[in-house]
Amino acid sequence: MQEKIICFLIDDDDDDQEIFALALDTIDPDITCITANDGIEALNKLNIDSDFIPDFIFLDLNMVRMNGRECLTEIRKLPRLKKTPVIIYSTSSEQKDITETKSLGANDYIVKPPSISELVKRLEQVLRGRIQTI
């Protein structure tokens, strides 16, 4: 029996959430996509539900109430999430953002692509290691 993959997307843009969920569904309909609308909502969920350990966390950088850098810093303080990959999912392609977020503990960085097919390809690359170990 295959273990279900849980992806946690933290992004304040409803359209981006919908496109991301659609891309995951294209890869594998059994992947669960849970969303939070900003860093504060995400941290509340992660702190309140200690059993919630997603397989992957995808984090937007540019959010209003708490930006992605602040959220990433707080996520990395949670011992039970030390091994959970955090992937930045942002419109920014600035090298300084990539370098800074990796120094804060991000495992990977995805620039939001212009098409869903490109997003599917990039997500498959990120998820491949996890899927092969199941």
31 by Cβ neighbours in 10 Å (0-12 / 13-18 / 19+) ranks as buried
In a domain, 114, yes or no: yes
In a domain, 1, yes or no: no
The total domain count for the chain is 1
**Domain carrying residue 13:** 6-132
88: part of which helix (H) or strand (E)?
Answer: strand 86-90
Degrees to nearest 5, angle at CA 101 with 43 and 95: 145
4 neighbors 24 (Cβ within 8 angstroms): no
81 neighbors 75 (Cβ within 8 angstroms): yes
The structure's pTM equals 0.92
In a domain, 90, yes or no: yes
What CA–CA distance (Å, rounded) separates 108 from 82?
Answer: 15
pLDDT digits (tens, 9 = 90+) for 23-51: 999 999 999 999 999 999 999 999 988 88
pLDDT-derived band at 1, boundaries 50, 70, 90: very low
- CATH number, residue 51: 3.40.50.2300
Share of the chain above pLDDT 90, in %: 87
Which residues, 6 or more positions from 122, have their beta carbon under 8 angstroms from its beta carbon?
110, 113
pLDDT digits (tens, 9 = 90+) for 72-99: 999 999 999 999 999 999 999 999 999 9
